[in-house]
Chains A and B, each alone.
Chain A
Amino acid sequence: NAGVTQTPKFQVLKTGQSMTLQCAQDMNHNSMYWYRQDPGMGLRLIYYSASEGTTDKGEVPNGYNVSRLNKREFSLRLESAAPSQTSVYFCASSDPPTYEQYFGPGTRLTVT
């Protein structure tokens, strides 16, 4: 039982390059989330998916797109990376009744 997995763990991009962060969960959770965490700050929600087939914007969606591929997988795409997107990205999943979120190990992304 791996929980929430994310790939890659580390990535360096040049400004303008694109990439997709992958996330998968094996807990059969309905809801999935993408966050970013900048130094000294809490987590900010980028996008979330309440259930398979739905996605919604969070607090900081600009510059990102998401795909809920199936119940297990939720990917985050940066179409044209910018230095301001240098951050640690976390994927999480949750289910009722309490919706506590279980997090992946994170992806450390640097955009130069």
Chain B
Amino acid sequence: AQKITQTQPGMFVQEKEAVTLDCTYDTSDQSYGLFWYKQPSSGEMIFLIYQGSYDEQNATEGRYSLNFQKARKSANLVISASQLGDSAMYFCAMRELNDYKLSFGAGTTVTVRA
């Protein structure tokens, strides 16, 4: 069964606007971690943000914030004030309890328009 689902294959956003990327996950563990990565056209994978399942507050890193809704099993990434450099593929990933591995979603392509 798919552990991470990203339903938006591609999105367009106007420069300076906010964009929300959806991610839902499936686990029976109570302890797990959620991650977002950015992959620009140059190909490298860049770690953006982490949310632990027991963290009470939503994680934030600069213009990135993670909207964590545990009961709905969703971990949406919000990018505020989009910039042209935000155009990239974004991947959601999860690590379950006692596991070293990450499970990745299929990704969402974001294109920022000037």
Q: Which residues of A contact B (CB under 8 A)?
A: 31, 33, 40-45, 48, 50, 58, 88, 90, 92, 94, 98-103, 105-106
Q: How many inter-chain residue pairs (CB < 8 Å) link A and B? A: 50
Number of interface residues of B (CB under 8 A): 20
From the candidates B45, B100, B107, name the one contacting A90 in the complex (CB within 8 A): B45
Q: Which of A31, A48, A58, A101 has the most CB atoms of chain B within a 10 A radius of its CB?
A: A101
B46 neighbours in A (Cβ, 8 Å): 103
- Residue of A40, A45, A88, A98 touching B43 (CB-CB under 8 A): A88
Min CB–CB distance A47 → chain B (angstroms): 10
Q: Is the CB of A48 within 8 A of B100?
A: yes
Cβ-defined contact, A100 with B50, below 8 A:
yes
User: With A99-B33, A100-B50 in contact, do A33 and B45 touch (Cβ < 8 Å)?
Assistant: no
Q: How far is the CA of A88 from the CA of B39 in the complex (A)?
A: 13
Query: How far apart are the CA atoms of A102 and B46 in the complex, in Å?
Result: 7
Known: A98-B33, A98-B52, A99-B33. A42 touches B47 (CB 8 A): no
Give the residues in chain A near B50, CB-CB below 8 Å: 98, 100
Question: In the assembled complex, which residues on chain B have CB atoms less than 8 Å from the CB atom of A92?
Answer: 45
Task: Check if A58 sits within 8 Å of B101, measured CB to CB.
Answer: yes
- B35 neighbours in A (Cβ, 8 Å): 100-101
Residues A102 and B47 in contact, CB atoms below 8 Å apart = yes
* Residues on B with beta carbons closer than 8 Å to the beta carbon of A102: 47
Q: Report whether B44 and A103 are in contact in the complex, using a CB–CB cutoff of 8 Å.
A: yes
**Closest Cβ of chain B: how far from A11's Cβ, in Å?**
15
